[in-house]
Amino acid sequence: MKRKGILFYIIFLLFAALLLYSQQEVVISIKEGMPAIPLAIPKFIARSNSSEANTISEQLHEIISADLKYSRVFRLLPKSYYSYIRPLNPNKIFFKDWESIQANILFIGEVSEGEGNNILFEGKIYDVKAERYIYGKRYEAEKGLIRLVAHSMVNEIMRHFGGGEIFTTKIVFISNRDGNDELYMMDFDGHNQTRLTFNKGKDYMPAWSPDGKMIAYTSYRLGRAALCILKPYEGKRIEVFSEGTSFAPAFSPDGKKLAFCTTVEEGNSEIYVARIDGNDTIKRKDIKRLTFNKAVDTAPSWSPTSREIAFTSDRGGTPQIYIMDAEGSNVRRVSFGGTYHDSPTWSPTGDRIAYVSRVDQIFDIYVLNLRTEKIYKLTESNARNESPCWSPDGRHLIFTSNRIGTLQLYAMDYDGVNLRRLTSKGENKLPDWSR
């Protein structure tokens, strides 16, 4: 994603022979349930005597450490362990020192001054047991972009170790902090919250396209529920379908189709699909109806293969979760043992569906494992927890909760732990995580 007027150079540092050799020893496939890799990340070295360089060094260390911990791929060693070994010399690493405090991986960062007002940051990873350099990368960027530098560095680490590269992803959501329900965007960790739309009417239900260039959503800008597409990096807004009441858009993972709900034909909500191959509008003749009944069918969510769609329907008398093939056939119910299940969201790994269930008037987030048919409850609070959405790597979820009295966005891991609040201004809801 380009940011106009901002300099962001990435210079790739790589010793090919060492990398190829060391990859055979340390590259792993990250799976749930695997023990986290012990990682040492000592204080970064500032190659300048200025207080600003030291501050930036500390900020980069804090952000990168938080990202690595959030990944759940690595276990960061306590800072107190570093007091038992000699001071770090990046030019002569005493690997036995780091092995003595049980580190498998060593991350070293150095900060120096670049051209003009830029900073240079270099990060290097070492295999402690093999006593070898694994990988390194250098960034030159304006000082205002240190968060992007840090997140990009962790993405590189995750790519090398086979994990998810989620640290430069964005979350779009709805907020009324400025007096009206509008689209906002933020980093995965809640930073850089930015307003995207400026309407008198309310906006709802945003959904990212797979390439991160478009956001489909419902807008009441002209007094009716129209389906719109926003291109946030071009500043372009398009009304693509305005017949009936249209809402709950969902891009297929292959980027070719858009599923959505509309009342255009019979007055009740049905699920339709349209090809979007670069067209600025969706014509009535170009949409295909997938559901046919007098019940309310809503909340479509694509499988990662684009071959199936999960959705909510009350065709059996109460809202339940169903799955159908992408053409609308082979409909089967997958939620049982309750009277209210809604808002399904298909995991990028394809084996789980998160959804909302109401029990004794309490709304909580649950996950259905499609392989084992087991159900896991992720939230446990006397609050309304709704609108779950998976991270691109399937290891985290974001959702809406009023546990502090107002609707705010929270993130948690796939097993319900590591809860963190991401928003605080106004009320915030209906998040969607970019891929």
Residue 423 confidence (pLDDT) above 60: yes
List, for residues 389-414, the tens digit of each pLDDT value: 999 999 999 999 999 999 999 999 99
Cβ atoms of 420 and 184 closer than 8 Å: no
Q: Kindly give the pairing relationship between strand 105-113 and strand 226-231.
A: unpaired
User: How many C-beta neighbours within 10 Å does residue 328 have?
Assistant: 16
What pLDDT score was predicted for residue 116? 83
pLDDT digits (tens, 9 = 90+) for 36-90: 999 999 999 999 888 888 999 999 999 999 999 999 999 999 999 999 999 999 9
Token pair listed for 85: 């070994």
Which range (2-16, 49-63, 137-151) has the least confidence? Answer: 2-16
What average pLDDT does the segment 319-336 reach? 96
Percent of the chain with pLDDT over 90: 77
| pLDDT of res. 360 | 87
CA separation for the pair 328, 276 (Å, rounded) = 18
pLDDT of 33 > 70? The answer is no
> Does residue 351 register a pLDDT over 60?
yes
* Model confidence pLDDT, tens digit, residues 258-292: 999 999 988 899 999 998 866 567 888 889 999 99
pLDDT of residue 262: 95
Per-residue pLDDT band for 320 (boundaries 50, 70, 90) equals very high
pLDDT at 367: 97
Using CB atoms within 10 A of its CB, is residue 20 exposed (0-12), middle (13-18) or buried (19+)? exposed
Any idea which residue has 């799976």 for tokens? 31
Least confident of 28-32, 146-150, 259-263: 28-32
* C-alpha span between 259 and 289 (Å, rounded): 10
Furthest C-alpha separation in the chain: 75
Which residue spans within 232-317 are E strands per DSSP?
Answer: 236-241, 246-251, 257-262, 270-275, 287-289, 297-302, 308-313
Report d(CA 53, CA 55) in Å as an integer.
Answer: 5
Q: In this structure, which topology does domain 8-161 adopt according to CATH?
A: Rossmann fold (3.40.50)
Distances (CA, A) of 81 to 15, 89, 102, 383, 425: 30, 17, 9, 40, 39
The per-residue pLDDT of the chain, averaged, comes to 89
pLDDT band for position 30 (50/70/90)? very low
Residue range 159-206, pLDDT digits in tens: 988 878 999 999 999 999 999 999 999 999 999 999 999 988 999 999
Architecture of domain 170-433: 6 Propeller (2.120)
Q: Of 135, 133, 110, 106, which Cα lies nearest the Cα of 121?
A: 110
- Whether the pTM exceeds 0.85: the reply is yes
Residue 110 pLDDT > 90: yes
DSSP string, 388-424: EEE-TTSSEEEEEE-TTSS-EEEEEETTS-S-EE---
Determine which of 18-27, 72-81, 337-346 has the lowest per-residue pLDDT on average. Answer: 18-27
E-strand ranges in 128-251 read: 132-142, 170-175, 182-187, 194-195, 203-208, 215-219, 226-231, 236-241, 246-251
Q: Is 401 exposed, middle or buried (0-12, 13-18, 19+ CB in 10 A)?
A: buried
- pLDDT tens profile 215-262: 999 999 888 899 999 999 999 999 999 888 999 999 999 988 999 999
Comparing CA positions, the residue from 259, 409, 208, 8 lying closest to residue 196 is: 208
More confident call, 414 vs 8 = 414
Give residue 25's pLDDT band: very low, low, confident or very high (50, 70, 90): very low
The residue ranges of every structural domain in the chain are 8-161, 170-433
- For residue 126, the surrounding DSSP H or E stretch is strand 118-127
pLDDT of residue 1: 41
